[in-house]
Amino acid sequence: MVAQKQLHSIEELDQFVAQKGKQLLFKHSTICPISTSAYEEFQAYLLDHSVEAAVILVREDRPVSNAVAERFAIKHESPQIFLLENGEVKWHTSHWKITKDAIKQAVGA
């Protein structure tokens, strides 16, 4: 398992996205029960798989969350997960579609 980072600034987002390889980026609302369920699925995936991962708390770090939507031209949703590969979005989904199995299939492991 790789520990996930929490991104608090645009600079941290830039550094995360600039990394090579596959990464998971999760946008989480700490007050939403759907987001909590999706976050648990995300955590369950990370327990068994080694992949760089980061979380953005959408209410606490709104500018970072907005930057993701703008940078990748993908409408903001919460919860929302992105599979990045070499800085490009290869897959994304939101809400109840965020499951351990869906993440596993998207990452390919």
Q: Quick one: tokens of 79?
A: 């919860």
Place of tokens 């492991």: 109
Percent of the chain with pLDDT over 90: 94
Identify the pLDDT of residue 82.
98
Question: Could you report the per-residue pLDDT of 40-90, keeping only the tens digit for each?
Answer: 999 999 999 989 999 999 999 999 999 999 999 999 999 999 999 999 999
The Cα 21–Cα 18 span in angstroms is 10
Query: In this structure, are residues 83 and 89 in contact, taking their beta carbons and an 8 Å threshold?
Result: yes
The residue range of the domain holding 56 is 5-107
Q: What are phi and psi of 73, to 5 degrees?
A: 55, 45
> Is this model's pTM higher than 0.75 or not?
yes
Is a pLDDT exceeding 70 seen at residue 1? no
Is a pLDDT exceeding 80 seen at residue 14? yes
- The CATH number given to whatever domain includes residue 69 is 3.40.30.10
Q: In which band, very low, low, confident or very high, does the pLDDT at 4 lie, cut at 50, 70 and 90?
A: confident
Q: Please tell me the total count of domains within the chain.
A: 1
